[in-house]
Amino acid sequence: MRIAADQYVLDMSSKHPAVAEVASGSKVTFETKDCFSNTIVNPDHLFSSVGWDKINPATGPLKVTGAEPGDVLKVEILDIRVAEQGVMTTAPGFGALGDEMEREVTKVIKIEGDEAVFNDRIRLPLAPMIGVIGTAPAGDAIPTGTPGEHGGNMDCKRIVKGSILYLPVAVSGAMLAMGDLHAIMGDGEIVVCGVEIAGEVDVRVSVLKNPVLPTPFLIEGGSLMTIASAKTLDEAAVVATRKMHRFLRERLKIENHEAGMLLSAVGDLRICQIVDPLMTARMEFPQKIAELYSFKLD
């Protein structure tokens, strides 16, 4: 199954009709535009030239047969392939350095082999990741540029090939959509962009029935991660931490105080992004310690 990049949404909503439907356990390829809808292709194209109706298109939504509210959608990221050219932009008033940027600047970044050519001195190893990925919320529509409990624009650089993301199912079919790929992005995404790029994502989607899991939940590189978004970074950090603490207590059956001390000893609290309408943080916990408690997640 392949979903073309021209089949996209600009918000996550239960009102969007599915562009495709698959059974649980199916493999699907999502073709994606970059976050500017592929409209910025040379240094003369500026961020201000892109209408908000073209920002953060998410390919989909995909309906997964049998997914019902209360379930969890398991999304295995099998592969991410990026285009031959990415872009970055800066603009006054945007991002953590918005007051330092006196004008709009666009930078085109060529992809050569496994590297992004940043300039004539710097070649950066590719680390393709998914910026926007989520399911439809049960209530009001949420713009694709906004993160939340449904996933969305989390900009978590650990959502890469080989990772497994667990998302909540709030409406029948889950209605999965994704986009906003980056060839590489640092934690924070401090000027509101990574190396923005079009591409393709291969995933396998499976429905888990009523698991006890604090979604969005991510497994990657030997770590278990709880992800949270909120109005402030402080609040997002606390929510991500509380989610992991609850996971240790409810899934691993670790005593309350013991779980808190363990999390303070080996948990790593990190920033995903600080530039979206809501800020996003993640709490990382070693998978090998969870396995000492016979942890296994289907």
pLDDT of 289 over the 90 cut: yes
pLDDT of 101 over the 80 cut: yes
Q: What is the pLDDT of residue 211?
A: 86
Q: What is the mean pLDDT of residues 283-298?
A: 91
Please name every residue paired with 217 in a beta bridge, in sequence order, or none if there are none. 166, 226
Which domains does the chain show, CATH number per domain?
2-65+79-151+171-204 (2.60.120.580)
Query: Is the CB of residue 39 less than 8 Å from the CB of residue 54?
Result: yes
Nearest-5° Cα angle at 2, 204 to 272 = 55
pLDDT band, very low/low/confident/very high, at 176 (cuts 50, 70, 90) = very high
Query: Is the CB of residue 72 less than 8 Å from the CB of residue 218?
Result: no
Instruction: Using alpha carbons, select from 283, 59, 295 the residue that is nearest to residue 178.
Output: 59
Residue 178: both structure tokens together: 């994704």
Q: What is the pLDDT of residue 52?
A: 83
Q: Name the DSSP class of 98.
A: G
Q: What is the mean pLDDT of residues 206-218?
A: 93
| Separation between Cα atoms, residue 58 and residue 201, nearest integer Å | 12
| Separation between Cα atoms, residue 295 and residue 251, nearest integer Å | 8
pLDDT band, very low/low/confident/very high, at 51 (cuts 50, 70, 90) = confident
Minimum mean pLDDT range among 3-7, 40-44, 118-122, 157-161: 40-44
pLDDT band, very low/low/confident/very high, at 271 (cuts 50, 70, 90) = very high
Q: What is the pLDDT of residue 47?
A: 86
pTM above 0.85, yes or no: yes
Q: What is the pLDDT of residue 216?
A: 98
Q: What is the mean pLDDT of residues 160-168?
A: 98
